Amino acid sequence: MIRAVYRDGKIEPVEQVPADWREGDELVIDALPSTNMPDETFDEWVAEVNAAAAKISDDDHDRVEAAIGQHRAEAKEWMRREMGLSE
């Protein structure tokens, strides 16, 4: 199953279409219950997120990157211990 949206009278996949689907294949499509999402378009949402991100200071970016790096190192070390590779 893939996700799609109905936009401008057409059904548009939002995920990669499976490789085994062939032109002309019949599909069964059912709508999901409404999620009460705002009426803004995806592009407007992206612009809003980008504008908010632009307001984040360089120091905050550096702190987040450092925290992510530390988390990755800890996760890698944990996995090594779990696999019996730690010395």
pLDDT tens digit sequence for 47-84: 999 999 999 999 999 999 999 999 999 999 999 999 98
Alpha-carbon Rg for the chain in angstroms: 22
pLDDT at 17 over 80: yes
Assign 86 a pLDDT band (cuts: 50, 70, 90). low
Q: What tokens appear for 54 in the block?
A: 């632009």
41 within 8 A of 32, measured Cβ to Cβ? no
Assign 32 a pLDDT band (cuts: 50, 70, 90). confident
The residues, any chain, with a CB within 8 Å of residue 12's CB and separated by 6 or more, are: 4, 5, 6
pLDDT for residue 44: 85
Q: For residues 28 and 15, give the distance between their C-alpha atoms in angstroms, rounded to a whole number.
A: 16
Burial 37-60 (b: 16+ CB within 10 A, else e): eeeeeeeeeeeeeeeeeeeeeeee
Q: Does the predicted TM-score (pTM) go above 0.85?
A: no
Going through the chain in order, the beta strands assigned E by DSSP cover 4-7, 10-13
